[in-house]
Each structure stands twice: as C-alpha cells, then as structure tokens.
Structure 1
C-alpha cells in the first residue's frame, strides 16, 4: 500500500507550508498559501486517519503493550523536543522584538494544553488511549462518547484539547474501525464510481463550509436563523456557558473533514501512479517525524535567527525579486525543510537519535503460559495477510 505514505507526505508538506505562510508577513495571501488552503480539509484529517489505520493492533493489546509499543514513541520526542522549540521561538521574540522571556508556567502550560507546534504527538497519545479504553464498548456507545464531547463545549470551549478532539478524534477512529472498508475503497479508487463519489462528497464539504461562513459572517439573519441562534444559546446556557459562531464552526468543520477523506484517498492513489511524484511523496511520508520536529526548529533557528530579522525586507512593488513575498516564502520553506533534514541526521546519531526514536522498552518477564500464547500469536501472524488485516504499525 503506497497511498498511506503518500497521504503522510502530502500532509506534512502542507503543515510545513502552513507554518511558513504564518511566518512571512503577507504569506497567507500568496498563491502557494491559497493552494494549500484547498487541502485544509485533508491535511491533518489524512494524518489522523492513517495513524488510526495503523493503530488497529491497539484493540488487542494490554496497557503495557500499548505503552511500550506506541505511547512511548510519541511521548519521548514530545517531552524532549517541545521545550526546545518553545525556548527557541520565545528566545527569537526576546532577542528581536523585546518580548519577555518565557516563564516556567508558560512552558508547562504550553506543554500540558498542547498549545505548541508538536500538538499532533500529544493527540496521538490521547487518541490511542481513547481507542484502547473503549475497545470493548459497542459501536453506539463509542459514538455517544465522541458526540458527548459537545456537551463540554459551552463551558470549556477555550480548551484546545477539547476543540481538536471534537474535530480530529472521529477521523482517527474511522481509520481504526473502518480499516477493511478503507482498504477496499483504496483498491477501487481509480474506478469512475469511486472518483465521482469522492468528488461529490468533497464539493459538498466545501459547500457546507461556504454556508457555515455565510451564516457566521452575515449581519442580517432571517427568522429561521434567529430561531436557531436562540436555540443554540438556550442549549449553551443550560450547560453553564455560551457558544460563539467560532465555537459552532467546529461542528461543520468536523463534518467537512470526514466527508473529504474519500477524496484524499483517491488523490493519494492517483498520485502514486505518477511515478516521480509518488516516489517523492512516499520518501517524504516515510520521514514525517524528523520533518515534523525539524521544520519548526529550521524556521526558528535557521530562518528566524539567521535571515528573517537580519535580511528580510518585503516590498512587492520593488523591482528587486529579493523583496517579494513569494521569494521569502520559498526561502523560509527551504529553511524549514533543511531543519527537517538536519533532524533526520540527528536521528541517525547513536544515543542522540534516541530523542526522536527511543529504544524499545524491555518487556516484563513472561510466564510459561504467556510465552506459549505469544508464540502461537507469532505463528499465526507469520501467515500471509491481505491489506485489510495487516497489523503493520507506522510512526507518524
């Protein structure tokens, strides 16, 4: 299966481009940023769906196996690299803009609340724990639990963990529980029916986004919309809080991301057929962790300290190409990817590379019965397995 690696490659390149556009004044108004915005319904949802797709073995693991086999490999880079990135980002502001240095409360708060560049690793821990904790529940109970997160929104809508869980937890669970269906759809992704189905859903998602933005931004509401707004406020007040238009966007945002997943799969399958593009995206997709960790360091250390405050001057009306926003978008993107490559090199250094890919934790001593059961499982896993039953687990 090539499409999961291609999906991760597209996602991580979109993430890097998004952060580059935020780092460059006017970067969000460039053509590159507008093209990246079209992938917004796909970028992180594809990432989470693929992560869930390869998390199916969690359903048959003990907590110890879950921690040693998955959580450990997310927690170590998150706990070691997040403080580094927060320090460099804060130091850049302190040196060049006079911002106050970060306090212990700021560092700990950013890590505990996942309001930092590496929040994806944080949520992989939470979502894998949720998948494991609910593995014995019936489907309706899992759906009810996920839906009940909305009951917390009126009183706790400012909490980032709640916001992102509402949007991305469903896509992760879809990847885990619908793996056979996803595999069959990927196999049929080149057929006209699959293409039309995916395109209709994707366009429907875009239309829902337009309608949602229109309702939120409109100043003149009709009687029906006013009735819905009153119903919303009544619901929110009954739960001890309120819901703004931005808060309500999380519901259509979740739906848009779910209905866009088939289009993402079709896109990845077709890109895999374009050999040079597919091979490049697979290469990127197999190294998402060093790129994810390193691109932020590249933006802060290489671009921020080295170029941004010393050489960057943007004037799109200048005759010099050096002053154009698009030029600096390319430069910043190159710096970010260079940071990813340097981080990859660090991952190859003995001992130091453990900060990215830590060594496996030792398994506890096994009883003879447990050892015999494990040998039976290994013997079964040695048999040929099709795409829908493979238990291969990828990193991010």
Structure 2
C-alpha cells in the first residue's frame, strides 16, 4: 500500500529545474550564430562596420566563436568513450558531408557574383581546392569541428598536463607557418573546445550557480580583465613610439621567430592574448546565457535559433549571395548617408541584408526537410560494422536531436 509520502511530486519539481538550467547551451549557440550572421552582413555592406549594430556586435568578439566551440566540446564529451569507427559514424560524418557539399557551392556563388558584377576573373580549380583544404572559407567552423574532435579522440588517454603541453606547443609552429589559417584558429579556439569537453561537470555546476552574486562578480572581473588585455595587446601592436619595455618585447619576439625559421608580426603575436581573452571571457558568456534563459520570450527565441544553427550557418551565406547579392545589392543598393531618403542609409541596408541572410537560413532549413535533398545537411547514419557500445554520458534535456548529432 502506498502512503502519502510515495507521491512523485518531488520528481515533477526537480525535472523542470534541471531543464531550465540546461537551456543555456542552446541560448549560447543562438547568440553566437546571430553574431556570426551580423558580422558577415557588416562585411557585405559598404560602411557596415561603422554602424552601431556592428560596434555592439564587436562586444561579442571574445564570446561569439569561443562559446560556439565550448558548447560543441560540451556535447563532444562522449567522444572520450568511443572507438574511431563510432566517432566517424556518429560525429565526423555529420560535419564532413555538409562541409564538402556546401563549401564549393558557396565559394562558386561568391566568386560568380564578383565575376558578373565587378569583372573579377573566374577562380581556378586550385583556388577552390586550397580554400576547401585550408579552411579559408565561410564554413570553416565545420572543418575545425572535425579537427578538434579528432584531437580530443586521439589524446583521450593522455594525462591532462600532456594535453596542455600539446596545445601550447602549437605556438612552436607560428614563426614558420603563421600564415596558415588552420594553425591560427587552432591556437585561439582549440582550448575553448577542450574546456567544454574536459570541464563539463565544472561548467554545469558553474551554470547552476550563475545567478549568485559570487559567480556574477567572478565572471565580470574576468571579462573586464580580458578587455584590458585586449587594449594592452592593441597598444603593443599599433604604438608608433616604442618605449624600452615594448622594444624588449619586440626584440624577444623577433629572436624567437628567427630561431624557428620565420617572421612573427604584431598580428601573429596577437593570437596568444586573443586565446587568453576568449578563455577568460567564457564564464561571462555562461552567466549571460543563464540570465537570458530567465527572460522567457527572448530566451525561448534564442533557444529555438540555437537548436537550428546548422541551417542558419549554411544558409545565411547563401542568402547573402543569392538573395542579397544577385537580387538586391548590385541592382538597387545605393548608399549615401547624406541623402534624405532612408533607403540610402547604411543602417537600412544592414537590416535588409540581415533579413536576406536569415531568409537564406530558413530556406535551407526547409531544404533539410525535403526527401533526397535534406541529406546534404543531415546525412543518413552510416551502418555500424559491429555492435556499438552504449554511451553512458547523458545529454541535457534541452538538446534537440540535431544538437546531439552535430554539437552545433
């Protein structure tokens, strides 16, 4: 016989609380992808980088892609318990297919737009292959998810200090290979991905306490410290009159570069403080997302966007090329901010281009639902050669099926 104490009421209360706490990863992805779209829109519009929207978006620079990579690592923790076959079938396959299929399409459309409207010469096959192989394209994030997941899997049996040494040793290649984008982005973003994977329990506990004063003050102090480091880094790079300390740092940099067979510029040296800034800004990003989750209309919207980042990521670039570029930019866009007409203002075209980019994302989402075509975004699962071991890591309740597969 059941007594009054056997009621399941406590479970009914606990589950929604856990769910609310875990809304922040989707919100983080939503904020990140909107920031990416706005960045690319500001680059597509003449004078777009001087607008208020672009300046506000620049405040997200320490958070935009690092949050994306940290959340991806947060969902990639199951890699630590997988064989290579399980890793490829359950994860890498879902990154490689959209990257290899959609990157050439985007590169071709972007190049064709320049050829038709500006007279730029058509690109060579070598240009396309180099852009894909070296990840110098709009969809580089998918490329690096493949690399970072492989790194996570390959180093899973190493102690923590050895992994830290491997990551730090990437800087040894900077003097000789600083122009290679793969190396640059790995230095900046690989730590955020590994933090998401290896510190998942700590991140979860921090998110649960993100509304407490200590967490807010801690994250705010780190974020301000990151901004201060950015100011110092820019001063070291751009100062015209070098003092004794700055000259000593520059000589040390040049000696290091010469010893390793290369030449480090001020821009190259920025990658070390850039990585530090982005890592110490992550707690502020988590706190921000947890608080936004409490603002229901805004939180629900960002969570919805965060669950569909892949079609937005793929489709916004196509929207900027096909809808905005071919359809509007070269036919109707005239920017003259001294004109009395609102249609000539940069801000107006920023809004129009952003709408075109998001429309491209929505159309790509619809394409993913079309039988026979949707596999280019969400390819069918590969059959397992042997019975796969069950993965013991639980996914957060707020994660959608696509989020679990892609981690984006």
- Which position in structure 2 is the counterpart of 1:75? 96
- Aligned runs of 1:298-337 on 2, under 5 Å? 298-337=319-358
Residue of structure 1 aligned with 2:66, choices 40, 45, 50: 45
Counterpart Cα distance in 2 of 1:227 and 1:95:
50
Counterpart Cα distance in 1 of 2:246 and 2:340:
50
- SS of 1:190's partner is coil
How far the C-alpha of 1:288 sits from its partner, in A, is 0.1
Counterpart Cα distance in 1 of 2:113 and 2:244:
51
1:17–1:36 Cα contact (<8 Å) kept? yes
Q: Does 1:393 align with 2:396?
A: no
Counterpart Cα distance in 2 of 1:85 and 1:259:
34
The worse-fitting range, judged by mean Cα deviation, of 181-190 and 357-366 is 357-366
Runs of 4+ in 1 over 6 A off after TM superposition: 384-387
Q: Does 1:230 align with 2:251?
A: yes
Counterpart Cα distance in 1 of 2:290 and 2:43:
30
Residue of structure 1 aligned with 2:239, choices 218, 239, 252: 218
- SS of 2:404's partner is coil
How far the C-alpha of 1:385 sits from its partner, in A, is 8.4
Residue of structure 1 aligned with 2:169, choices 144, 148, 153: 148
Gaps of 5+ in 2: 1-21
Q: Deviations over 1:61-102 (max 9, x none)?
A: 100000000000000000000000000000000000001111
- Which position in structure 2 is the counterpart of 1:349? 370
C-alpha RMSD of matched pairs (Å): 1.5
- Which position in structure 1 is the counterpart of 2:192? 171
- Which position in structure 2 is the counterpart of 1:279? 300
Q: Does 1:242 align with 2:263?
A: yes
Residue of structure 1 aligned with 2:105, choices 57, 76, 84: 84
Counterpart Cα distance in 2 of 1:332 and 1:113:
28
- Which position in structure 2 is the counterpart of 1:195? 216
- SS of 1:256's partner is helix
- SS of 2:240's partner is coil
How far the C-alpha of 1:223 sits from its partner, in A, is 1.2
Q: Deviations over 1:310-360 (max 9, x none)?
A: 000000010000000000000000000000000000000011000000000
Counterpart Cα distance in 1 of 2:181 and 2:342:
40
Counterpart Cα distance in 2 of 1:385 and 1:323:
48
2:312–2:364 Cα contact (<8 Å) kept? yes
Residue of structure 2 aligned with 1:23, choices 44, 64, 71: 44
TM norm structure 1: 0.94
Counterpart Cα distance in 2 of 1:314 and 1:131:
47
- Which position in structure 1 is the counterpart of 2:75? 54
TM norm structure 2: 0.92
How far the C-alpha of 1:394 sits from its partner, in A, is 4.7
- Which position in structure 2 is the counterpart of 1:111? 132
- Which position in structure 1 is the counterpart of 2:276? 255
- Which position in structure 1 is the counterpart of 2:313? 292
How far the C-alpha of 1:259 sits from its partner, in A, is 0.4
Q: Deviations over 1:228-270 (max 9, x none)?
A: 2111111110101111000000000000000000000000000
Counterpart Cα distance in 2 of 1:117 and 1:315:
29
How far the C-alpha of 1:365 sits from its partner, in A, is 3.7
1:51–1:394 Cα contact (<8 Å) kept? no
Closer/same/farther in 2, CA of residues 153 and 89 from structure 1, 3 Å limit = same
2:91–2:405 Cα contact (<8 Å) kept? no
2:316–2:357 Cα contact (<8 Å) kept? yes
Q: Does 1:95 align with 2:116?
A: yes
- SS of 1:357's partner is coil
Counterpart Cα distance in 1 of 2:228 and 2:245:
20
Counterpart Cα distance in 2 of 1:18 and 1:224:
35
- SS of 2:340's partner is coil
- SS of 1:54's partner is helix
Residue of structure 2 aligned with 1:34, choices 43, 52, 55: 55
- Aligned runs of 1:124-139 on 2, under 5 Å? 124-139=145-160
Counterpart Cα distance in 2 of 1:127 and 1:393:
16
Counterpart Cα distance in 2 of 1:89 and 1:22:
13
- SS of 1:317's partner is coil
Gaps of 5+ in 1: none
2:30–2:307 Cα contact (<8 Å) kept? yes
1:298–1:340 Cα contact (<8 Å) kept? yes
